Amino acid sequence: MIDCICIEAQINPPENYGEPTILDWKGFNLRPKFLPTGELVVKDYECQVDGLRVLLNRHSIQLSNSLHKFYHGNNYCDFTYSQLVKCIDEICRRFGIEADAWQIKKLEFGFNIDVDKKGLDYLSLFLSYKSKNFHPMLHGGRTYGKKSSLTEYAVKVYDKALQVRFKDKIKLENEILRIEVHYSCRRKLPKGIVTLSDLTKQNNITTLWKSFMEILSIIEFQEEKDFSKSTFEERVLFYASTNSEYLKNEKEIDKKAALITNSKIKQLKARFLKTGFREKLLKDIGGKYLTLFCT
């Protein structure tokens, strides 16, 4: 689903641009923002339109924030391809600017996946992307997700239900895991995606989808653990085995005993590690893509 976006279009400035008062432009009341000089010198103007941040300067207008929220009022429900097209049509109508005149600067593409447990419980399974570790995403000092950031884009995974509770004070009925790619530079956007009109073409959505899946396919995952039928001693041995120095030292002390210990560890891993998380995740996202964009 397309969520947060930043788009920009060139305009001719209003005649009264630069006046230190509310600017009426196409029915929108934009507040002046001033340069930090202590004088009333206008830098640009801004307002909010159904969740979109509108920024107007002398030569361009910029819209940012969530298309999903602009259309639905929230970004935790489904947002289909047909709804995206209607959303873009509405933006063009309200601002009087054609879709192919809006240049895409930033873009988020991702999916909300219904899960059996709290989204937080899955975060530990995401280890790294291109050798970049995932780091906590915080709200008010509390973790709700993880992010792996590169120079021009980032991969995010977070507990969507928890984020909504933090930010919007709404408790959702379902547990939702959100996975998204944030393109912070238009140069990194997949080929063919340049303007807002490009997002109304099915083949470009498919291109975004393929790029998204390629990124997910090289995430390093950790297998899910189930310790419901374990003893304290078994858990101690299991976690001791995650330290590479442990078996090395055991082998130096007593090779025969180390072989027995290693055999026990293999048995514990077979019991406690639940395989298939990556496969199930990719399958669920694939099903979501078909539902939202191909039906």
Q: How far is CA 58 from the centre of its chain?
A: 32
Model pLDDT for residues 67-121, shown as the tens digit of each residue:
999 999 999 999 999 999 999 999 999 999 999 999 999 999 999 999 999 999 9
3-state secondary structure 141-201: CEEEEEEEECCCEEEEEEEHHHHHHHHHCCCCCCCEEEEEEEECCHHHCCCCCCEHHHHHC
Mean pLDDT of all residues in 154-176: 95
Model pLDDT for residues 235-290, shown as the tens digit of each residue:
999 888 878 788 889 889 998 888 999 888 888 888 887 768 888 899 999 999 99
What 8-state DSSP symbol labels residue 75? Answer: S
Per-residue tokens: 18:
């630069």
Window from 55-59, 93-97, 291-295 with minimum mean pLDDT: 291-295
Best CA proximity match to 91, nearest among 62, 56, 112? 62
Per-residue tokens: 222:
């950790």
Distance CA 45, CA 295 (A): 41
pLDDT band at 66 (very low <50, low <70, confident <90, very high): very high
Residues β-bridged to residue 9 = 61
Name residue, tokens 């996975």: 179
Model pLDDT for residues 180-195, shown as the tens digit of each residue:
999 999 999 999 999 9
pLDDT of 295 strictly over 80:
no
Q: Write the CB contacts of 183 (distance below 8 Å, at least 6 apart in sequence).
A: 106, 107, 108, 109, 152, 153, 189
Region for residue 143 given its phi and psi (left: phi exceeds 0; alpha: psi -120 to 50; beta: otherwise) = beta
Distance CA 71, CA 57 (A): 25
Asked if 101 and 168 touch (Cβ cutoff 8 Å), the reply is no
pLDDT of residue 193: 96
Q: How many other β-carbons are positioned within 10 Å of the β-carbon of residue 35?
A: 11
Q: Which amino acid is at 277?
A: F
Distance CA 277, CA 121 (A): 13
End-to-end CA gap in the chain: 14
Q: How many other β-carbons are positioned within 10 Å of the β-carbon of residue 295?
A: 8
Asked if 63 and 91 touch (Cβ cutoff 8 Å), the reply is yes
pLDDT of residue 36: 87
Distance CA 83, CA 292 (A): 10
- pTM for the whole thing? 0.84
Collapsing DSSP to helix, strand or coil, 62 comes out as: strand
Distance CA 138, CA 136 (A): 6
Per-residue tokens: 269:
């891993």
